[in-house]
Amino acid sequence: MMGNIGRRAAAASALVLAAAVVAGCRGSSAEHFGEPVTAVPEVSVAQLLEPPDAFRRQPVRVRGVIERQCPSSGCWVYLRDDQGRSIRVELSDYFPRLPSRVGAEAEVEGEWIAKGNDHEFIGSRISFRREGSR
């Protein structure tokens, strides 16, 4: 039989474990939309822009800070790198509505496509990192 001290120790251990699990869940720093990410190569905004045809129609992952986002449904964003370069990321093919996350870091998986005389990134998965988290 477990004595009074043993029960207290077991209860304290369970409480510490539960607190760690809850803190770990709250500490999650990303919101993800879409299927789980895959093992596609990560490229920079600069790599997509110079030259723009190098990654055309290849699945890749890109990250940056959201500088603008569709105000009505969040279905597109402009993703900016640390050098101030931006690309347009279209998300409406997969996500008709997304939360507004202007200023947050995002990681998007999809394809770089030609659109008229320009290019656009068609995102099929996106993760938003909360500001101040890495």
The answer to whether the pTM exceeds 0.85 is no
Lowest mean pLDDT among 21-30, 89-98, 121-130: 21-30
Distance CA 46, CA 32 (A): 24
pLDDT in tens, 100-124: 999 999 999 999 999 998 999 999 9
SS3 63: strand
Tens digits of residue pLDDT in 52-81:
899 999 999 999 999 999 999 999 999 999
Q: How far apart are CA 117 and CA 60, in angstroms?
A: 21
Domain range annotation of the chain = 30-129
Judging by DSSP bridges, how do beta strands 30-33 and 76-80 pair with one another?
unpaired
Q: Which CATH architecture has domain 30-129?
A: Beta Barrel (2.40)
